[in-house]
Every structure is written in structure tokens, then in C-alpha cells.
Structure 1
Amino acid sequence: MTRRRVVVSGDVQGVFFRDTCRRIATERRVTGWVRNLPDGSVEAVFEGTAERVEELVAWAHGGPPTAMVDKVEVYSEEPEGLAGFEIRPTPWSD
């Protein structure tokens, strides 16, 4: 089991990034979540086999056809054993 957290910057909100991410993750049996961030970026967590998680990380570098990804930050984290894949609400910035 592997876990990666990605923060994707660029023109990535309002282009179906989260919905497409959820669909692809579900198809590949990767668990986790995705959400918009207040600064205009998108954050996602992927958990699953190393091969499938890395497929999602690679996908995040391009996103859906309407996205324009400028930068992807990738962080390795300890898996939490998440179930399913969800779109989470945007956290409020203080």
C-alpha cells in the first residue's frame, strides 16, 4: 500500500479536474480524496498499489483535457487505509 499527496497548480479549477480525478481513481481502484484549495490549486490524496497510485500521480501532471497544469508537488505519506474516493469541500482560509 502506497500513499501520495499531490498539490496541482495552474488553471485547474472549474475544468472538471476533481470529477475526472475521482472517476479515474475509482476505475483504477485507488482510494483517497480530491479538493479545491482557496489559492486556486487542487489537492489530492491517492492510496493503493504503487503502480496504480503512480498512474494517478502521472495523470495529475496533465489533468483533464481542459486543464492547464503548471506545477505538481508530490509528497509521500503513510497510508491511512482510506475507503472509496471522494470529492471533499474546499477548506476555508483564515
Structure 2
Amino acid sequence: MGSIFKDFFDQGKDRESSGEVIYANDPSENISEQKIRADISGRVQGVGFRFSTKQTADELGIKGIVRNEPDGTVHVEAMGDREQLSRFIEALRKGPSPAAQVEKVVVTYDENIEEKSNFSQAN
């Protein structure tokens, strides 16, 4: 990736956001790798959110998928250890793309999410 894009997306990493994180349930006990679904609402489509989410996931070693939904939200399925997922959820809350405005991230722990070998971006 060229430095123009890297500089642009790095702008979003340290900014504050008023996005709220809502946990629908608690993580499973005694499982090292956790799986989550996250539904993100706000201005999250058409602003590089999926691209920057994939970039963040790759940096953190998260496996999963990100996709736009017809209702204007973004859906994420992610797998990683607790620390990785905690950092990833915080990045989603802030909006990894500087043009995004996250209102809410609803996180659901779900052991039934299909295993992925990497993190991908769906259309």
C-alpha cells in the first residue's frame, strides 16, 4: 500500500470517537480463541471502513470477514484471543477510517462462527 493511503488511514488510529460499544452477551469461559460478531452503525459505508478494518485486523492478527449490509451498517465476524479482540473492538468503536463516524458497535460472542484462515473484505 502506498504511503498516501497509509498516512490517510493512520489519521484514524488515535482519534477519539463517541461510538458506543454494547455487549449482547459475555465471552465463553476457558476458551483461548474467542469469536465475535459485531454490527457497526453510523457513517460506516463509502468511507473506507471495510478497507481500514481489514488493515487493522491484519495488524492485530485477527481472522474473519467484514462486509457492508443493505441497511447501511457494517458486519464483522472476527476470531482472536481476548487481548487481540479487545484492541480490535476499540478500533471499530473509533472507526478505523478517519472519514467514518461510528455511533454504535453491537458485539455478540458466538462460538458458532465459521473458522477463517485470514481476514477478508466482502463486497
Specify if TM > 0.5.
Answer: yes
| Distance in 2 (alpha carbons) for counterparts of 1:21 and 1:4 | 14
Aligned to 2:42: 10
Paired letter, 1:27: E
Per the alignment, residue 41 of structure 1 pairs with 73
More strand by share: 1
Q: What is the root-mean-square deviation of aligned Cα atoms in Å?
A: 1.1
Shift of 1:85: 0.5
Return structure 1 stretches of 4+ with deviation > 4 angstroms.
none
Unaligned runs of 5+ in 1: 90-94
Count of residue pairs brought into register by the alignment: 89
1:84 aligns with 2:118: yes
Shift of 1:80: 3.6
Percent of paired sites with the same residue: 35
Gaps of 5+ in 2: 1-32
Report the alpha carbon displacement of residue 81 of structure 1 after superposing the two structures with TM.
2.9
> So what's the TM-score if we normalise by structure 2?
0.69
- What SS is found at the alignment partner of 2:45? coil
| TM-score computed with the length of structure 1 as normaliser | 0.89
1:25-77 CA-partner distances (Å, limit 9, x unpaired): 01111100000000000000110111001111111111121101111111001
Pairing 1:70–2:111 present: no
Which is higher, the Rg of structure 1 or of structure 2? Answer: 2
SS in 2 for 1:61: helix
